[in-house]
Amino acid sequence: MLYLATPSGADVRAAMQAGLLGCMTTPAQGNVIPPGCLYACDNGKFGKGWPGEQAWFAWLKSTVGRYGPGRCLWAVAPDVPLDAAATLAESLPWLQPIRSLGIPVAFAAQDGSEHGLIPWDSTDVLFLAGSTRWKTSTAAHRLALEAGERGLAVHMGRVNSRRRLRIAQAFGCTTADGTYLAFGPDTNLPRLLAWMHQLHANPTLFGDDT
């Protein structure tokens, strides 16, 4: 599993260039993606970074053009946080335009998406969004397993603790992201890298701490 973060400081950027982390970018961040590292494009819908559909897609095209489609893990289609039905309606028109850029498209699953509200045939990555309670639920786990059976990658958002990393790993996630390194990167980067190393080496060593 690869952890995606913002390039918060020289040490974090170096870890990204070394392949230990990936870079998450959004329309509002304006961050320069470190040379050679893998990156993913969030849409900024969860928060205050959404610029509107046309400005977002122009940003996405510019980002992929600047850094290349080969290093782009995926771009998540516009969604409506916590609303599965509205997310499906919002995302559907953008799945093919994202793919036309030569990159995988991620669909943001929300609370209730398990009720037939995933466009499986038009999705490359299942992004477990929604509330914390839902994304760590049995329903989300079943969706993640189905995604794996369909040959899709799985991503979990807002992963900011060792326990959440363990859950993402147990769900079969190939990537996860969070803001853990945005605050106190000097302290949190060594801790996060140690967690990731331990998780990859032996997931059963993880405790239930948050």
Give residue-wise pLDDT tens across range 158-169.
999 999 999 999
Give residue-wise pLDDT tens across range 64-112.
999 999 999 999 999 999 999 999 999 999 999 999 999 999 999 999 9
Of 172, 105, 115, 164, the C-alpha closest to 141 is 172
105, amino acid identity: V
Q: How many CB atoms lie within 10 A of CB 41?
A: 26
For residue 192, pLDDT over 80 is answered with: yes
Lowest mean pLDDT across 43-47, 80-84, 202-206: 202-206
For residue 63, pLDDT over 60 is answered with: yes
- 98: three-class secondary structure by DSSP: helix
Whether pTM exceeds 0.85: yes
Report pLDDT for 200.
85
Report pLDDT for 210.
45
**pLDDT mean over 41-60:** 94
**pLDDT mean over 20-43:** 95
**pLDDT mean over 198-204:** 78
Q: Which residues of 177-202 are buried (b: 16+ CB within 10 A; e: fewer)?
A: bbebbeeebeebbeebeebbeebeee
Q: Cα–Cα distance between 81 and 201 in angstroms, integer?
A: 34
For residue 118, pLDDT over 50 is answered with: yes
**pLDDT mean over 167-188:** 95
For residue 5, pLDDT over 50 is answered with: yes
